[in-house]
Structures are given as C-alpha cells and as structure tokens.
Amino acid sequence: MKTAVVYYSYDGSTRVAAEVLARQLGADVFELEEVKKRGKSVLSFVAAGFGALTGKRSRLKNDFAAEMKNYDCLYIGSPVWANRTVPAVNAFLDSLDAAGKKIVLFTLQADPNVESAPDTCLLAHKQALEKRGATVLRLLRLHGASPGKTVESGHIEAQLSAQAVEQ
Ligand SMILES: Cc1cc2nc3c(=O)[nH]c(=O)nc-3n(C[C@H](O)[C@H](O)[C@H](O)COP(=O)(O)O)c2cc1C
C-alpha cells in the first residue's frame, strides 16, 4: 500500500508531525501552500481564525491532484484553528478525488486535552469523504504547541506510540 502524508502548517507543528508520521509509515510528504501568504500579526491571527470558523477554502499553489492518484492511503494533517480545520486543508479535501482512498485525518492543537476537543468539524469531513467513496480509518488528534511555537518531534512520537499508527 502506497501512503502519502499531506499537510498544511502555519507555525511548524503539523510539519513536525507529518515528518514523524512519514518516517514511521515510509510515506511520501506533500506540503500544502496557500497562494496568499499569511502574516504573523494579530490581525492575521484573527483573520485566520475567522476563516477557519466560517469554513473558508483558500487558493492553493498546488492541490497535488495528479500526484494523489498514485496513493492508496492518505494521512491529511491540519492545525486546529477555532476548533476547525484550516482553509488550505478544506480546499485540498474539496479537490481530492477521494473514491477508494483510505484516509486518516490528523490535527494539531494547542489544547493538551485532545480527547475533549470538539470534533464536529472532523466528523463532518469524515462523513463527506465517505459519501465520496473514501474510507476514513481514523481521526488522530495530537497536541502541538501554543500559537507561535513549534512542537518537538519527541512529543509527537510519545503521543503516537501511545496510540499505534498503522496503514
Ligand atoms: C488562528 C489560530 C487559531 C487557533 N485555534 C485553536 C483552537 O481553537 N484550539 C486549540 O487547541 N488550538 C488553537 N490554535 C493553536 C494551534 O492549533 C496550535 O498552535 C498548533 O500546534 C498549530 O499547528 P502548526 O504549528 O502546524 O500551525 C490556534 C492557532 C491559530 C494560529
């Protein structure tokens, strides 16, 4: 089974998790980039949160549509913004030809209480992907870091070893 890890990261933690997962799974990695680069001001933070909260889709430099045809299993990673997935990941999920794919959605959040975080948004993605013929194997919620900080890979590895990752 060929596996890809696709992610967007603003502060680096989802990138760290994507790289750890890719190493463990022997997967290829694809980073989603937005056409319009986000700044780091308070205004950018508020705009980012508002965009996620209202389910925005951003324009991507590359949605990897052609590349994704080569993979059976996709790990798709998003930071949590306002308890939602981010606009870049929303756009990727919209454009994905999901039929027949096995999918794991993983998220990184600042709140260490990953189990109690609301998962309405992830469940909505799961339902929509399954309607399009994908099988969502699991929703993997990971603790990242506070906004502006980047998680250490050891912290991701510890969380993953507590909840065995498989294809
Ligand atoms: C605009 C914005 C909104 C956020 N909202 C939440 C939130 O609702 N819950 C949470 O636990 N963390 C929230 N965070 C923190 C991020 O989820 C956390 O820093 C994560 O590790 C970021 O991943 P990244 O480094 O890949 O961007 C938010 C961060 C930003 C920038």
pLDDT of residue 117: 72
pLDDT digits (tens, 9 = 90+) for 107-130: 999 999 998 777 889 999 999 999
- In this prediction the pTM is 0.96
State yes or no: pLDDT of 167 exceeds 60. no
> Average pLDDT of 32-58?
96
Ligand 1 contacts (CB < 6 A) are 9-14, 45, 48-49, 79-83, 108-111, 144-147, 150
> Which residue intervals of 13-149 are DSSP H helices?
13-25, 42-53, 65-68, 87-95, 120-131
Distance 11 CA to ligand 1 centre (A): 9
pLDDT of residue 166: 52
CB-based contacts of 27, cutoff 8 Å, min separation 6: 3, 4, 5, 21, 73, 75
Q: d(Cα 27, Cα 139) in Å, to the nearest integer?
A: 18
Q: Where are the domains of the chain?
A: 3-161
Pocket test for ligand 1, best of 14, 45, 50, 109 (most atoms within 8 A of CB): 109
Distance 25 CA to ligand 1 centre (A): 25
> Which residue intervals of the chain are DSSP H helices?
13-25, 42-53, 65-68, 87-95, 120-131, 153-161
CATH 3.40.50.360 fits 3-161, yes or no: yes
> Average pLDDT of 10-23?
98
Mean pLDDT of the chain: 95
Q: Which of left, alpha, beta for 69 (phi over 0: left; psi -120 to 50: alpha)?
A: alpha
Distance 146 CA to ligand 1 centre (A): 7
The CB density around residue 118, as the number of other CB atoms within 10 Å, is 10
